[in-house]
Chain A
């Protein structure tokens, strides 16, 4: 573990934690522009979080300790996830401890804690949200794993930095299998991050909500952490996508800190484009009924399986 590696690692974590709300703000802004609405500032999520931290936490009298520690655990696992995704450099000391499969496990841990916390108070919305979130989870997680498996079969490793190093050294467009999985991954990203067409991030009270339903009982600092963790999750998913499908520019190998000078702006550029793309998808699609979600995610899964078959048949 050299000093450079340690520097890259801490930079990654800090950038992810700090920039996640900005990314969310950017998507919201793009969405507003596309829908001819006046857009809130990109800094709006920071103001929300800051405001929430100042408020008194109101907790249901029958809440168990699980309810109070869950936001911290969710936030902690998301931060750890940010640490193992190569967004700027691939020489990260911590990635040895968690490969891509462990990363999926980590995301599942956050989901389970969130669902358990939502069931803790015993309100109708809480358990409804928990059940729906777990439904989306059990459909999206295998699809995500299949996406990762295609990339790992191509690169003969499950370590995420090694995958993106391998893929970034190859020429563009050589992998038809990755094209299928990119579609699958985008669908998983939308579903897992409570975006349209599966969930509506702009809603706070409607019968079809998923993510917001789980957070209804949270307030103040707990809510701030949950929202921040959700922003971080979206940021992480975007970075997983970059590492798998557009790995160019990530400082590979034993690159000097100077490589980061290219990697950081390039990451910003990718995020700007991805945010715009997400906003476009969300603007163009309508929200699905909850029970259409399985069909949506099953097609994501099938796309990933198709990618796998294409890889195994063509070897590409």
Chain B
């Protein structure tokens, strides 16, 4: 199938389907749950589907984000070395559909089916450039961790069915588990969905798979697929188990906070732009899981209105992240196509050559740095408000330790701003670090439209928190029984608790800043003058400035590497003073890889080697095995 057809027609049709899904999700948020039983699949094992508020909000997220990504994809994909465009288009849409099915599934069978299709479709999408060995390796790592996770989820469903062996979610809701079994089920779910969400230490696939995949696929995986893991853990802990135990939340909270800090610290040290964004995804999922942890703690202790606050904060962050991260990934895609570079050290100054991409990406970068009045700030604000209420928890020590979590959230948010200044500044600002960059051309119309859609989402989610929360209330009502009230007199003022306690009005915020800016421009220009002279940048009297004198991506990451040294495993190569061609090199790698995965892989390898002696390669031995097996089975049957 040619690129033009699959691009222009099929991807745009996909965008239309996305809009349809978004509409269904939006509509279903305000209505009662609906069930459907589809007579497909295995005999006697039909697909049960259910659309309730929780599914609806994630469907909405899937739909709205995929509209932007598909429109961008329509202009983006072109014939190349990897998968043929027609096949790629098929994989992409199977991936979208399977994510939709994950959200709708109402029995473990349909869920696992959709979950596996999702994993496989995304695996094939990640390995689009399958001729490159490194990319095949990244894909394999992703597939491996996805399946370890899927196994845990399967076991979790096995516990949840509670002995009835009916795998519909309805029987799981009705089943009564002892606290021990419920805890085991929760931990399995946390592990299984955590593997998909990229929680530390199960995050290792993210920084490998995201750079490998084509940008729209990275956007879809990071923006949408990671959220299916959030959906899963919410579904299991609040809906299927039903009554969470409060200290489960502490585990989720600790994992989330650690992932947030870990992710953002590593993001600051990266030199590959997509790898940087992948680590930033780990950070954001960490923040989401911290919100989940808080919600579990509050819900487990019966503080439902506070649980609603934490839940809405995390759902809001999921929505935000879908827009911001997709926007940033697509921005890197546009840069990649224009320059052929993913390495931050070979980019720079692109704002002058790709103004559309640059300005639209700026919105995403500011939003993800959680700066008001954009959307990232709203969820951070809500989450911090939730943290500020943890001193009311009726458990000694816990109520003292949890407010400190706010410090970690604040630190991650501030570091995220650092990372984004690095990301944006090195790619789009400054002077081009390679001479070929002056030929970079801005992306096409469809790509701009896709970027603009997502940027508009970031702005709207930032400016209309009251309206968004009014919709999200349906979810928290479903899960914890209450929603978040609206305590302000004005439609634009967000006051989740009481207006005296805390309020935030982004619209007024924006209007006043804009008014002051315009007024200042006017006053300065009227009272003084607007003369401008263009000149060369000041070189401190040194002579000619050179693009290589700018800070590099490595240099920009250096303060973070210095401050958070224990996080990293650094290999430095420093030349001797007498070296004729000195080379400086620092390789930053993940300690967890060496501390956890390599020993684990060694263990698996040793175990495999030790059972290898069974494989003698002689037919007689194998016949003996069959005979012994037969005897044992007969003995079992007779006994």
Q: Across the interface, which residues of A come within 8 angstroms of B411, CB to CB?
A: 138, 142
Which one, A126-134, A167-175, A249-257, A265-273, is touching chain B? A126-134
Bound-state CA distance A109–B534 (Å) is: 28
Residue from A122, A128, A301 with most neighbouring chain B CB atoms (10 Å): A122
Q: Across the interface, which residues of B come within 8 angstroms of A316, CB to CB?
A: none
Within 8 A of B (CB), among A87-115: 94, 96-99, 101-102, 105-106, 108-109, 111-112, 115
Which one, B226-234, B442-450, B538-546, is touching chain A? B538-546
Q: Across the interface, which residues of A come within 8 angstroms of B535, CB to CB?
A: 58-61
Which one, B98-106, B242-250, B556-564, is touching chain A? B556-564
Known A105-B370, A105-B377; contact A146-B410, beta-carbon cutoff 8 A: yes
Instruction: Give, as a whole number of angstroms, the nearest-CB distance from A302 to chain B.
Output: 10
Known A96-B503, A312-B399; contact A145-B421, beta-carbon cutoff 8 A: no
Tell whether B631 is near chain A: CB-to-CB under 8 Å: no
CB-based contact B513/A121 at 8 Å: no
When the two chains form the complex, which single residue of B504, B524, B527, B536 contacts A99, counting CB atoms closer than 8 Å? B504
Bound-state CA distance A121–B540 (Å) is: 14
Would you give the 0/1 interface string for B370-388, flagging 1 where the beta carbon is closer than 8 Å to chain A?
A: 1110000100110011001
Bound-state CA distance A149–B493 (Å) is: 22
Instruction: Give, as a whole number of angstroms, the nearest-CB distance from A291 to chain B.
Output: 6
Tell whether B555 is near chain A: CB-to-CB under 8 Å: yes
Q: Across the interface, which residues of A come within 8 angstroms of B503, CB to CB?
A: 96-97, 99, 159
Tell whether A80 is near chain B: CB-to-CB under 8 Å: yes
Closest to B392 in A: A156
Instruction: Give, as a whole number of angstroms, the nearest-CB distance from B209 to chain A.
Output: 28
Tell whether A259 is near chain B: CB-to-CB under 8 Å: no
Q: Across the interface, which residues of B come within 8 angstroms of A119, CB to CB?
A: 421, 425-426, 429-430, 551
When the two chains form the complex, which single residue of B385, B545, B559 contacts A131, counting CB atoms closer than 8 Å? B559
CB-based contact A80/B540 at 8 Å: no
Tell whether A157 is near chain B: CB-to-CB under 8 Å: yes
CB-based contact B563/A294 at 8 Å: yes
CB-based contact B403/A308 at 8 Å: yes
Bound-state CA distance A116–B558 (Å) is: 18
When the two chains form the complex, which single residue of A76, A124, A125 contacts B513, counting CB atoms closer than 8 Å? A76
CB-based contact A64/B429 at 8 Å: yes
When the two chains form the complex, which single residue of A58, A101, A131, A313 contacts B533, counting CB atoms closer than 8 Å? A58
Bound-state CA distance A75–B351 (Å) is: 23
Known A76-B513, A94-B512, A142-B410; contact A57-B532, beta-carbon cutoff 8 A: yes
Bound-state CA distance A96–B500 (Å) is: 9
Size range of the interface on A? 35 or more
Q: Across the interface, which residues of A come within 8 angstroms of B377, CB to CB?
A: 102, 105
Tell whether A282 is near chain B: CB-to-CB under 8 Å: no
Bound-state CA distance A157–B385 (Å) is: 9
Q: Across the interface, which residues of A come within 8 angstroms of B562, CB to CB?
A: 291, 294
Bound-state CA distance A98–B425 (Å) is: 28
Bound-state CA distance A160–B521 (Å) is: 30
CB-based contact B532/A116 at 8 Å: no
Would you give the 0/1 interface string for A204-238, flagging 1 where the beta carbon is closer than 8 Å to chain B?
A: 01000000000011000100010000000000000
Tell whether A21 is near chain B: CB-to-CB under 8 Å: no
Tell whether B404 is near chain A: CB-to-CB under 8 Å: yes
Known A97-B508, A102-B381, A131-B556; contact A122-B547, beta-carbon cutoff 8 A: yes
Tell whether A202 is near chain B: CB-to-CB under 8 Å: no
CB-based contact A149/B551 at 8 Å: no
Q: Across the interface, which residues of A come within 8 angstroms of B508, CB to CB?
A: 94, 97
CB-based contact B421/A141 at 8 Å: no
Bound-state CA distance A276–B549 (Å) is: 41
Within 8 A of B (CB), among A49-90: 53-54, 56-62, 64, 66, 69, 72-73, 75-77, 79-80, 83
CB-based contact A64/B406 at 8 Å: no
CB-based contact A157/B502 at 8 Å: yes
Known A62-B537, A108-B414; contact A80-B512, beta-carbon cutoff 8 A: yes
Closest to B562 in A: A291
CB-based contact A57/B414 at 8 Å: no
When the two chains form the complex, which single residue of A98, A121, A138, A145 contacts B504, counting CB atoms closer than 8 Å? A98
CB-based contact B407/A146 at 8 Å: yes
Would you give the 0/1 interface string for B347-378, flagging 1 where the beta carbon is closer than 8 Å to chain A?
A: 01101100000100010001001111000010
Within 8 A of B (CB), among A144-192: 145-146, 149, 152-153, 156-159, 162
Tell whether B5 is near chain A: CB-to-CB under 8 Å: no
Instruction: Give, as a whole number of angstroms, the nearest-CB distance from A103 to chain B.
Output: 9
Instruction: Give, as a whole number of angstroms, the nearest-CB distance from B303 to chain A.
Output: 15
Bound-state CA distance A75–B384 (Å) is: 27
When the two chains form the complex, which single residue of A97, A132, A142 contacts B407, counting CB atoms closer than 8 Å? A142
CB-based contact A158/B539 at 8 Å: no
Tell whether A197 is near chain B: CB-to-CB under 8 Å: no
Instruction: Give, as a whole number of angstroms, the nearest-CB distance from A113 to chain B.
Output: 9
Within 8 A of A (CB), among B328-361: 348-349, 351-352, 358
Tell whether B621 is near chain A: CB-to-CB under 8 Å: no
Tell whether B116 is near chain A: CB-to-CB under 8 Å: no
Instruction: Give, as a whole number of angstroms, the nearest-CB distance from B341 to chain A.
Output: 17
CB-based contact A159/B536 at 8 Å: no
When the two chains form the complex, which single residue of A101, A130, A221 contacts B381, counting CB atoms closer than 8 Å? A101
Known A96-B493, A98-B504, A312-B399; contact A59-B532, beta-carbon cutoff 8 A: yes
Tell whether A247 is near chain B: CB-to-CB under 8 Å: no
Tell whether B467 is near chain A: CB-to-CB under 8 Å: no
Q: Across the interface, which residues of B come within 8 angstroms of A120, CB to CB?
A: 351, 429-430
CB-based contact B509/A138 at 8 Å: no
Closest to A145 in B: B410
Tell whether A137 is near chain B: CB-to-CB under 8 Å: yes
CB-based contact A124/B559 at 8 Å: no
CB-based contact B425/A116 at 8 Å: yes
Bound-state CA distance A106–B391 (Å) is: 26
Bound-state CA distance A131–B426 (Å) is: 11
Known A59-B532, A122-B550, A294-B562; contact A127-B388, beta-carbon cutoff 8 A: no
CB-based contact A156/B493 at 8 Å: no
Known A59-B532, A105-B370; contact A123-B524, beta-carbon cutoff 8 A: no
Instruction: Give, as a whole number of angstroms, the nearest-CB distance from A106 to chain B.
Output: 6
CB-based contact A97/B505 at 8 Å: yes
Tell whether B148 is near chain A: CB-to-CB under 8 Å: no
Tell whether B572 is near chain A: CB-to-CB under 8 Å: no
CB-based contact B550/A124 at 8 Å: yes
Tell whether A305 is near chain B: CB-to-CB under 8 Å: yes
Q: Across the interface, which residues of B come within 8 angstroms of A291, CB to CB?
A: 562
Bound-state CA distance A69–B399 (Å) is: 45
Bound-state CA distance A236–B590 (Å) is: 41
CB-based contact B556/A127 at 8 Å: yes
CB-based contact B531/A57 at 8 Å: yes
CB-based contact A105/B524 at 8 Å: no
Tell whether B517 is near chain A: CB-to-CB under 8 Å: yes
Bound-state CA distance A132–B422 (Å) is: 12
Instruction: Give, as a whole number of angstroms, the nearest-CB distance from B287 to chain A.
Output: 14
Known A62-B349, A105-B371; contact A121-B537, beta-carbon cutoff 8 A: yes
Bound-state CA distance A313–B401 (Å) is: 11
Q: Across the interface, which residues of B come within 8 angstroms of A122, CB to CB?
A: 348-349, 429-431, 537, 545, 547, 550
Tell whether A286 is near chain B: CB-to-CB under 8 Å: no
When the two chains form the complex, which single residue of A99, A112, A127 contacts B502, counting CB atoms closer than 8 Å? A99
Bound-state CA distance A6–B406 (Å) is: 34
CB-based contact B549/A123 at 8 Å: yes
Closest to B416 in A: A138
When the two chains form the complex, which single residue of A127, A142, A313 contacts B400, counting CB atoms closer than 8 Å? A313
Q: List 25 A-B contacts (CB under 8 A).
A: A56-B531, A58-B532, A61-B534, A61-B535, A72-B520, A73-B517, A76-B514, A80-B509, A83-B512, A94-B508, A97-B504, A116-B429, A122-B348, A127-B425, A127-B551, A131-B558, A156-B501, A157-B501, A158-B502, A217-B538, A225-B520, A291-B562, A305-B404, A305-B407, A312-B391
Q: Which 5 A-B pairs have the closest CB atoms?
A: A97-B505, A127-B551, A122-B430, A122-B431, A119-B425
Known: A116-B425, A122-B537. 10 other contacts (CB 8 A): A54-B528, A56-B532, A57-B532, A62-B352, A66-B351, A96-B493, A97-B508, A101-B381, A127-B551, A157-B501
